[in-house]
Amino acid sequence: MRHIRYFCAAVLCMIISCGTYTVTREMENSAGVDGIAKAAVVVRVPRNIRIAHDEYVNNIRQWLSGVKALKELYIVTEGSEELVYTKGDEDRFYQFSERSSFLRYKSLGIINLYLRNNSAELKKLISDKSLSGVIFYEVFGVTSTEMQFVDFDSVVTIVDKNLNVVYLDHQSDNFSTNEFDFDKVKHKLFDLVSQRFIEKLENLEFIEKD
C-alpha cells in the first residue's frame, strides 16, 4: 500500500515541485523506512565555512516546529566534529564525476565508512534516546551577494538502528536573488535548505503539514 502512496506522491511532487528542487532518489528500502518510529536528525556541513552549523540546525528546527510530527524526531544540536562536519570534498556524501553525474556507489562507500568510523557515537545516541533510526542531512551551500545567487547541494541518508542504509537521495540547485545584503542572502539559503528537507520528510511520512 505504501508503495502505491509513494508512487502517487512522487508523481505529484514531480508535477508541482520539479521547478524548485531537483531531487533524485537513489535507493529506498520502504520497510526499513516504515520501521523507523523515532529518529535523530544529524545535520552535516563543511567545517571551514562562513555559515555556522548551529545556524542551519536552528533554521531547520524552526521549520519543523510549524508542522505536525507523525514520527518522533530528535534534532542533534551537539555532536563530535567527525559526526557533523565534512573535512573536504573527499569525505562528502555527495560524490560526482567530472561530468557532474552522481557517483552512487562511491557515495555509498563513503557513507558506510562514515558510519563505521562514527559507530560508537551513533550507537550511544541510538541507545540513549531509544531511537529506531537516524536521518543525516548533508548540505553544501554557496552564496554570492555580488553575483546575486544561492547554490546548494544536499544528500538525505537514513539508516536504521543497526546503521544499515535504508534511504539515499541527492539534490543540486541554484537560485537567483535580488538581495545584496549577506544576512538576507544567508537566510534565503537557510529557508531553501530547510524547505527541501521538510518536503522530503513529508514525502517519507515523518511529518505532515497542517
pLDDT tens digits for 85-130? 999 999 999 999 988 899 999 999 999 999 999 999 999 999 999 9
pLDDT tier at 82, thresholds 50, 70, 90: very high
Packed helices 182-203 and 2-17: angle between N→C axes, nearest 10 degrees: 150
Q: What is the dihedral of CA 82, 84, 87, 89, to 10 degrees?
A: 130
5 found inside a domain? no
Query: What would the pLDDT profile of 4-57 be if each residue is shown by its tens digit?
Result: 443 443 333 333 333 479 999 999 999 999 999 999 999 999 987 778 999 999
Q: Which amino acid is at 196?
A: R
Beta pairing partners, 19 = none
Identify the pLDDT of residue 146: 59
Residue 105 lies in a domain: yes
pLDDT tier for residue 180 given thresholds of 50, 70 and 90:
low
Domain extent, residue 36, equals 22-208
Sequence-separated (6 or more) residues with CB below 8 Å from residue 97 = 103
Tell me what pLDDT residue 3 has.
44
The size of the chain, in residues, is 210
State percent of the chain over pLDDT 90. 71
Q: How many domains does the chain have?
A: 1
Residue 16 lies in a domain: no
Q: Is residue 173 part of a domain?
A: yes
201, three cell numbers: 520528510
Distance between CA atoms of 77 and 99, rounded to whole angstroms?
36
Q: pTM of the full predicted structure?
A: 0.87
Looking at the domain assignment, is residue 191 inside a domain? yes
Q: Is residue 27 part of a domain?
A: yes
Answer yes or no: is 196 within a domain.
Answer: yes
Query: Which stretch of 141-145, 157-161, 168-172 has the lowest confidence by average pLDDT?
Result: 141-145
What pLDDT is recorded for position 150?
79
Q: In terms of DSSP H, where are the helices of 65-181? A: 81-84, 104-117, 119-128
pLDDT of residue 153: 94
Residue 80 lies inside a defined structural domain of this protein:
yes
